[in-house]
Amino acid sequence: MTTGAPEPLLVLTDVNTFYGQAQVHFDLSISVGRGHIVCLLGGNASGKSTTMKIILGLVKPRSGEVTFDGASLIGLTTPQIVRRGIASVPEARRLFADMSVRENILMGAFVRNDRDAVAQDLDKMLTLFPKLGQRLSQRAGSLSGGEQQMVAMARALMSRPRMIVMDEPTMGLSPLYVDRVLELIRTINQEGVSVFMVEQNASLALEIAHEAYVLQTGKIVLSGSARTLKDDPRVRDAYLGGSEAA
């Protein structure tokens, strides 16, 4: 684990989000350092997935600021944000089920126009995810959950992002695949891609994260380095939905 605070890449400042009358986020502030893996922990309905959607511009906050590499993302459309260098691995993977695995992975490079480099990156993905090699012409919808997760990660990497946001990357996977996915996230990160992930499974996420935030009903109740949080009994309470966490 690296020490010291790197320069921040993605910063959310005092974000307040509403769905109709219901407030989802209360003065949410999160910072993801360049080259770091940052994890957002929280139980059901804590506002984790909405945080993802705010970053990707799928939901607009009522107030607050979101900046990426110093420039504001507020008011940009999702495709514009993607072009700034943020790729996503959405919740439940969201592959294009009727397209082939190859087409799915190449869709990740939609924002790029350098055909030859894209072809090289596709080969690179097949070394990173060797299992996908035999599946390239198969319908993405016919893959197992773990394989789909691999495709979703390869797809996200194809845009050569500076940062990947992941919504519960280990959800619904067999233990074998959970380990594999965490290992891959670490590998991706070591190649220089910052990672922001939303997770319910705190103990797993804290294994690989540099920093973590704990979100409870729309408020950050705890934050700090993964190492200190791992030993904090309040994390377990918060993540189990305990009421005395803060």
Structure-token pair, residue 170:
């280990």
36 lies in the binding site for another protein (CB under 8 A): no
Q: Give the one residue of 97, 117, 119, 246 binding another protein; rule: CB under 8 A.
A: 97
Contacts of 210 (CB under 8 A, 6+ apart): 1, 2, 33, 36, 37, 38, 225, 226
79 lies in the binding site for another protein (CB under 8 A): yes
**Cα(244)–Cα(242) distance, rounded to whole angstroms?**
6
Binding mask 108-147 for another protein (x = CB under 8 A): x-xx-----------------------------x------
Rounded to the nearest whole angstrom, what is the least distance from the CB of residue 40 to another protein in the complex?
18
Q: Give the one residue of 14, 98, 114, 123 binding another protein; rule: CB under 8 A.
A: 98
82 lies in the binding site for another protein (CB under 8 A): yes
Contacts of 26 (CB under 8 A, 6+ apart): 16, 218, 219
Quick check: helix, strand or coil at residue 245? coil
Q: Which is nearer to another protein, 33 or 169 (CB)?
A: 169
Q: In this structure, which amino acid lies at residue 106?
A: L
Q: Give the one residue of 59, 74, 76, 99 binding another protein; rule: CB under 8 A.
A: 99
**Cα(119)–Cα(64) distance, rounded to whole angstroms?**
40
Quick check: helix, strand or coil at residue 158? coil
Judged by CB under 8 A, which stretch of 10-18, 73-81, 117-125, 171-179 contacts another protein?
A: 73-81
Structure-token pair, residue 132:
């996908």
Contacts of 236 (CB under 8 A, 6+ apart): 202, 242
Q: In this structure, which amino acid lies at residue 171?
A: M
Q: Give the one residue of 58, 59, 126, 171 binding another protein; rule: CB under 8 A.
A: 58
Q: Which is nearer to another protein, 79 or 224 (CB)?
A: 79
Q: Which is nearer to another protein, 56 or 226 (CB)?
A: 56
Provide the binding-site residues for another protein, judged by CB under 8 A.
Answer: 56, 58, 77-79, 82-83, 87-88, 90, 94-99, 103, 106-108, 110-111, 141, 155, 159
